[in-house]
Amino acid sequence: MSIRSTVKAILCKENQILLNRCQMENGEIYYDLPGGGQNPYESLEEALHREILEETGYQGRILRLAALAEEIYDEEELRESYPEYAHRIFHIFVMELCGKEPKQPGEKDWQQLDSVWIPLFEADRLNLRPRHLIGRVTELVQNEFPIYLGTIHVK
């Protein structure tokens, strides 16, 4: 088992945040920060820029590290089914948008329907991934120092 290093972006413009709108197999809609896994020998910054462009078509500039979080799958069945996601460390960055028009997304994330701009104040009420962010997006955008969001055990 290995620990997956993951980057996520809080990409903001005009009091809005860019989120990936996703749909589970049961039809439930959830929202995810754009981002994904870091490749071997790829810096966090390189991974973040690559993932944002692939999933949303946008480019951004990193302003600061916003948070660090950890997620661990507890069920053996989940660990066996999704070994690359069974233990993840999330590096969450606040970014500002570079340019107004996105390019065509090159590689949408699993379950991703599209990317949508949501008013920042509404983001705290959404079904978000990673789960650490539920009710805390505004805090992460407004806080000037990084926050450790802790570990969530997924059952």
Domain boundaries, the chain: 4-154
Classify residue 54 as exposed, middle or buried by CB count within 10 Å of its CB (0-12, 13-18, 19+).
middle
In this predicted structure, what is the pLDDT of residue 107? 78
In this predicted structure, what is the pLDDT of residue 74? 93
Q: What is the mean pLDDT of residues 26-43?
A: 96
What's the start-to-end Cα distance of the chain, in Å?
18
The residue ranking higher by pLDDT, 108 or 90, is 90
Report d(CA 142, CA 62) in Å as an integer: 15
In this predicted structure, what is the pLDDT of residue 1? 63
In this predicted structure, what is the pLDDT of residue 137? 96
Encode 64-93: b = buried (16+ Cβ within 10 Å), e = exposed: eebbebbbebeeeeeeeeeeebbbbebbbb
Per-residue pLDDT at 119 exceeds 90? yes
Superfamily of domain 4-154 in the CATH hierarchy: Nucleoside Triphosphate Pyrophosphohydrolase (3.90.79.10)
Summarised one tens digit per residue, pLDDT across range 67-88 is 999 999 999 998 998 888 999 9
Q: Is the pTM of this model over 0.85?
A: yes
Per-residue pLDDT at 100 exceeds 80? no
Per-residue pLDDT at 23 exceeds 80? yes
Q: What is the mean pLDDT of residues 60-65?
A: 96
C-alpha closest to that of 19 among 91, 124, 99: 124
In this predicted structure, what is the pLDDT of residue 109? 80
The three-class DSSP label of residue 123 is: helix
C-alpha closest to that of 10 among 100, 129, 119, 94: 94
Per-residue pLDDT at 104 exceeds 80? no
DSSP 83: G
